[in-house]
Structure 1
């Protein structure tokens, strides 16, 4: 009997049972959808009802194209995204190296704080900063000690909790099916342009999209023979994400839109929703929602601690040490991988006590706004070049979706820069 949970080598995939192999896409999707993304979707529903439902669907299609492109480069070339970026010039080393260190420092504090919010609400005997430190240390220890198989299984449990609880709450509020179907017709209400672009580009879109190819490799998929399995994995995972995001928009539209209830921006908006759920459905539903909130935050922190540490380890291997692609084996056991886990966990604890310095926030926001355009544009460049065997280069559909993604992220980037300057 085949054990589908164990990584395989770069040979042929099994003839049947592909559904049982699904995993890396679940990890990428669960990592990309954080508490802040859920609040953004809730706010879109609370302000515009079902009018932007179509944008959530388009957003998932765009993410499928981006994640598929990153993993296709890994499988088709036998190398990694960092190998591809290095081939574009040394400027990628400077950009990515500076970006990942600043992003990791600020995100570490953000992720630990987000995880602490539901824990402090469920167990108020410790202050917020106490739960933040505990969550960071526990997640760091888990990623440090466990191999990919255990990590993936844990992420599946967390996204299962997220999915069941959020979709359950959406069904509980009794969605207006007719209005939801109308929301699939593309329209942009007055004042909703940036919300629309943000909903398409923001939910599930982070640096961890570049990590998908590394998780595909960690699963044991290392040759073009696994391309079909990867595409199934990617599409199913983002379909689940799409249902999850639609459920959050339904909750916003049904519970907040008609009552004109405003939420706080950022992760704390989910605590506002918790109070609304408690008033309408009682403490049991409220507690279950907090558990789902906690699962969402934990999946993001674990996914970033693992995936972005893999990216940094490959950056160190490739751009600093100049080693060849074959040494990507065992990246999660390298000193660079473990250093970045430390970097995400310990130094950011300073920000938990003193807040985020303004200059660091501005620099983080500026660099962060540039990453998704960087990913989309470099994928178009790499996947249409001789670096990729001809049969695996992008066709008109992939190029079209990646082009839409690139244009979308450039607009969002310019809007972010304008907001920072103003």
Structure 2
């Protein structure tokens, strides 16, 4: 009897891992240098107080991405293709906005990964590391195989979980402090970091990329919907766990000492005198995985979205796809070399502006597609799903409204 129970448990675990698919690529893209930096800053400034926000952000990300699975598996088209069916111009405008934002964020992805490499190998300059990263991300994108992309990102997410969780455990955090931090409340001055944590997790391009990836992975249509939901749940949990682990590391080691950080690289260096060299190496490896996984996502997932929005040939090896890949890979290098290794403020501002104003548009378009009952039938959004999406919309509107003064101040 005991052997049978163990066999059933092993079978369930095997099924869970078989369900891992597109969402792990999404999880890898969400946990980039921006997320690691924001989580580090949150823990260093407010201790465990904002842990709840990482949990809420992962839930909101699930709600935002889930309708795309229903649309794609039912219609066998992506959401951008669905928007193009309603209005071709709207689909093109949406992609162009997402593409410009992707260029800005890709710069941050490359720099974050390059800084991590530079921390581990000081003899290699940041510019040199950038070129190496670009070459590898282009090779992966040029291969154009979904399984290669999935396997690469699975490995990178596993590395992030290992690095950040081991560092967290070695920090010996306060269990009572973690428990208190899971109770929602915003400490004085913490509103911007709350918005930052949500903004780095709930991104406008992610649902469209998720839809595109789901079309490649879940070829069985609606019968694969349960597996697709399990995939999304598993990886959104992984996203929340990794973000919480980074926050807990900073809350345990830096907050009591009054040490603040302005980048994830600062966080890695700040851990060295507290936990020793091994923690520094682990955290730097996690930061590299965060930056490189997000960079691979951009070079591999944005070109198919272009083809969907413009109605181009669905071919990863087409000329238009490869030009798009090269632009996404080259832009951060050109900008970084031109600016001597620093990111110009205008690019950061552009990314924030686009993210702030595209996100509400994304939420509206997703809600419209998810409620097209003549097309989706039983897969259309239920009352409960619409209520959940309305909550996301409210959070997004608040995020937009409260971000405007900050954005204006950056100009």
Q: Is the 8 A contact 2:95 2:305 kept in 1?
A: no
Report the CA distance shift for 1:183/1:415 in structure 2 as closer, same or farther (over 3 A).
same
Of Structure 1 and Structure 2, the greater helix share is in: 2
> Which residue in the other structure is 1:5 paired with?
none
Secondary structure of residue in 2 paired with 1:258: helix
Residue 349 of structure 1, CA deviation: 2.3
Residue 41 of structure 1, CA deviation: 1.3
> Which residue in the other structure is 2:280 paired with?
286
Report the CA distance shift for 1:58/1:101 in structure 2 as closer, same or farther (over 3 A).
closer
Q: How does 1:196-207 map to 2 (within 5 A)?
A: 196-203=194-201, 205-207=203-205
Q: How does 1:180-191 map to 2 (within 5 A)?
A: 180-191=178-189
Moved more, 249-258 or 78-87: 78-87
Residue 392 of structure 1, CA deviation: 0.6
> Which residue in the other structure is 2:326 paired with?
342
> Which residue in the other structure is 1:366 paired with?
353
Q: Is the 8 A contact 2:30 2:294 kept in 1?
A: yes
Q: How does 1:200-279 map to 2 (within 5 A)?
A: 200-203=198-201, 205-264=203-262, 269-279=263-273
Report the CA distance shift for 1:154/1:101 in structure 2 as closer, same or farther (over 3 A).
closer
Q: How does 1:70-219 map to 2 (within 5 A)?
A: 70-203=68-201, 205-219=203-217
Q: Deviations over 1:350-398 (max 9, x none)?
A: 2112235655554443222222222212111111123542211112332
Q: Deviations over 1:76-101 (max 9, x none)?
A: 22211112222443452353243134
Q: How does 1:311-390 map to 2 (within 5 A)?
A: 311-317=305-311, 330-355=314-339, 361-386=348-373, 388-390=375-377
Q: Is the 8 A contact 2:116 2:287 kept in 1?
A: yes
Q: Deviations over 1:9-48 (max 9, x none)?
A: xxxxxxx935423121111111111111111112122222
Q: Is the 8 A contact 1:170 1:247 kept in 2?
A: yes
TM-score by length of 1: 0.87
> Which residue in the other structure is 1:296 paired with?
290
Report the CA distance shift for 1:101/1:249 in structure 2 as closer, same or farther (over 3 A).
closer
- Structure 2 gap segments, 5+ residues each: 1-13
What is the count of residue pairs matched by the alignment? 393
Q: Provide the aligned C-alpha RMSD in A.
A: 2.1
> Which residue in the other structure is 1:392 paired with?
379
Secondary structure of residue in 2 paired with 1:332: coil
Secondary structure of residue in 2 paired with 1:187: coil
Q: Is the 8 A contact 1:376 1:403 kept in 2?
A: no
| 2:405 is aligned with 1:405 | no
In structure 2, C-alpha distance between the alignment counterparts of 1:279 and 1:108, rounded to whole Å: 31
In structure 2, C-alpha distance between the alignment counterparts of 1:25 and 1:359, rounded to whole Å: 31
